[in-house]
A and B are shown apart, each in its own frame.
Chain A
Amino acid sequence: MTQIEQDKNAPDTVMSDYNFAYLDEQTKRMIRRAILKSLAIPGYQVPFASREMPMPYGWGTGGVQVSAAVLTPDDTLKVIDQGADDTTNAVSIRRFFEKTAGVAVTEATAEASIIQTRHRIPEAELREDQVLVYQVPIPEPLRFLEPSEVETRKMHELEEYGLMHVKLYEDIAQHGAIATAYAYPVKVEGRYVMDPSPIPKFDNPKLEMAAIQLFGAGREQRIYALPPHTQVVSLDFEDYPFEASKADHPCGLCGAEDSYLDELIVDDEGGRLFMCSDTDYCAARQAVGHRGSDASPTLEGVA
């Protein structure tokens, strides 16, 4: 956290050898065109000429390109990975944009204008002046059911989505309930079936939000989007309705009962700690005095 302060107040660390936000202007225009098209057709996967980025595929090359294309010098950027601001992926992407764009960064959800995320939606409700950028590994919801890209495109074109329910059927047949817990397929505005990226299904109801949501898949070269307040319905069966599930515990650190929890193994005797996966949400609650049953003195000291 002190690291962030230092970088922000030291503009001479900003690299001037690169164009603003690393990508050249032509590339950003190309990506913006793809973004505009994807916003015009919610849930439709728009192909774009994904560039090599200075990070491996799978580390958020799609999200980074989308962020680079929408970033302006006045923006404040927040990057989260599984809800946390302080994991390797989040830290390196945040520092990447600090260096190449010199934008302000933050860990506070409410202060950010652009939030790049991997596999989570922040707990705090997002506003209409914010943009949420997802890193997407496999944009095609039908991919593991139908390997042919030609065929899946045809299925989207003709709205042949019966196969998606076959997957849910298999879940119930094998596990007695819909066991798909993340990347839970949704139908957008009654038209396209979309993979919401591997967010937990707990986050699915939050997909109908005020902020713009952009999804970038670098390796697969696809961008798709949800405009504000778009209707997003999680697929289910009449007798097995969709359920936004989470671990049945309060957060051990801040006591929150409404947030998505990570399970942490704390010793080799079966001891475990459930804690908010959204670190900013948890820290903010602790700062105003909320305490969970497992909050230790040292953690309190940090908060």
Chain B
Amino acid sequence: MTPLLQVEDIAKYYGTRIGCTDVSFDLYPGEVMGIVGESGSGKSTLLNTLAGHLTPDRGAVRFDTRADGLRDTVTMSEPERRMLSRTDWAFVHQHARDGLRMNVSAGGNVGERLMAVGARHYGKIRATASDWLGRVEINEDRIDDRPASFSGGMQQRLQIARNLVTGPRLVFMDEPTGGLDVSVQARLLDLLRNLVREMGLSAIIVTHDLAVVRLLADRLMVMKDGHVVESGLTDQVLDDPQHGYTQLLVSSVLQV
């Protein structure tokens, strides 16, 4: 089976400081990979490097493109990479306002990716947008409201709809539940889990919240100081942590 994403020895430095280094893994279709670690451990750097927002200093990120099979996204031309990032890839930001256009209506936000790939029929765009708002549990009569009038949880769900509307195969998520209260988090996680299963999505989720990866991720990578210190099946890593840092991380979770 061909991996959807093949990461080989990725390294990103900020001057002489390490962003992340020696990261290699394969992600298979339908698989959800979690990346956990404390602040400054390089998990966001890694995610941005994989998604093409940062250029790595070393290594290859090969993606199984629909047309030509595995292609290195680091060396492919920028138009190709940007095309990928608005069709087969999606990126969910921690702060919804980074990923949304706040002065454009909810329908316009969802429709943007469709129009970016050439949709030119207003009625169809609107129908699709309306359908997607329903799927992320936003009432359809809010379609012409701007995201600024939405609550934090709704904004995050809108961002997810906007990203998934073109049917991507790989979703990058950077702390998707950050800044939301726990009950809203729970609904969002439930929604994400359903969408991921329904659409057979592969995803890479960066978070410091172990509960999120427990729920969503099949596999887990633990990062510290730019290095991957432990990786494996989620339950295995969380229930039987081997590395000292992972043990610390798991034992730091408050039990209620």
Contact = CB atoms under 8 A, between A and B. Distances in A.
A170 B82 CA distance: 24
Interface in B130-150: 143-144
Interface stretch (B25-33, B37-45, B102-110, B236-244): B102-110
Interface string A237-249: 1111000000000
A11 to B, nearest CB: 55
A141 to B, nearest CB: 15
A143 to B, nearest CB: 13
Contact of B121 (A158, A162, A166, A239): A239
Contact of B120 (A145, A165, A170, A173): A165
B15 interface: no
B122 A172 contact: yes
Contacts of A169: 107-108, 111, 115, 122, 125-126
Contact of A163 (B107, B112, B126): B112
Interface in A151-195: 158, 160, 162-163, 165-166, 169-170, 172-174
A166 B101 contact: yes
B132 to A, nearest CB: 14
A145 B102 CA distance: 11
A199 B125 CA distance: 29
A241 to B, nearest CB: 10
Given A237-B122, A239-B122, A173 B115 contact: no
Contact of B112 (A166, A237, A238): A166
B126 A158 contact: no
B105 A173 contact: yes
Interface size class for chain B? 20 to 34
A90 to B, nearest CB: 35
Interface size class for chain A? 10 to 19
A170 B104 contact: yes
B172 to A, nearest CB: 20
Chief secondary structure at chain A's binding surface: helix
Given A172-B122, A239-B122, A166 B82 contact: no
B122 A170 contact: no
A170 B108 contact: yes
Contacts, number: 51
B122 A163 contact: no
Contacts of A165: 115, 120
Contacts of A166: 101, 104, 108, 111-112, 115
A167 to B, nearest CB: 8
B117 A162 contact: yes
B82 A158 contact: yes
Contact of A237 (B78, B105, B120): B120
Contacts of A172: 122
Contacts of B116: 160, 162-163
Contacts of A162: 112-113, 115-117
B144 A174 contact: yes
Nearest to B113: A162
Contacts of B143: 173
A160 B107 CA distance: 19
Nearest to A163: B112
Nearest to B109: A166
A170 B105 contact: yes
A158 B112 contact: no
Given A160-B82, A162-B112, A173 B126 contact: yes
Interface of A: 145, 158, 160, 162-163, 165-166, 169-170, 172-174, 237-240
19 contacts: A158-B82, A160-B116, A162-B112, A162-B113, A162-B117, A163-B112, A163-B116, A165-B115, A166-B101, A169-B108, A169-B111, A173-B105, A173-B107, A173-B144, A237-B120, A237-B121, A237-B122, A238-B120, A238-B121
Given A169-B122, A237-B122, 12 more contacts: A145-B101, A160-B116, A162-B113, A163-B116, A166-B111, A169-B125, A169-B126, A173-B107, A173-B108, A173-B144, A237-B121, A238-B121
Interface of B: 78-79, 82, 101, 104-105, 107-108, 111-113, 115-117, 120-123, 125-126, 143-144
8 tightest A-B CB contacts, nearest first: A162-B116, A165-B115, A237-B122, A162-B115, A238-B121, A158-B79, A166-B112, A166-B108
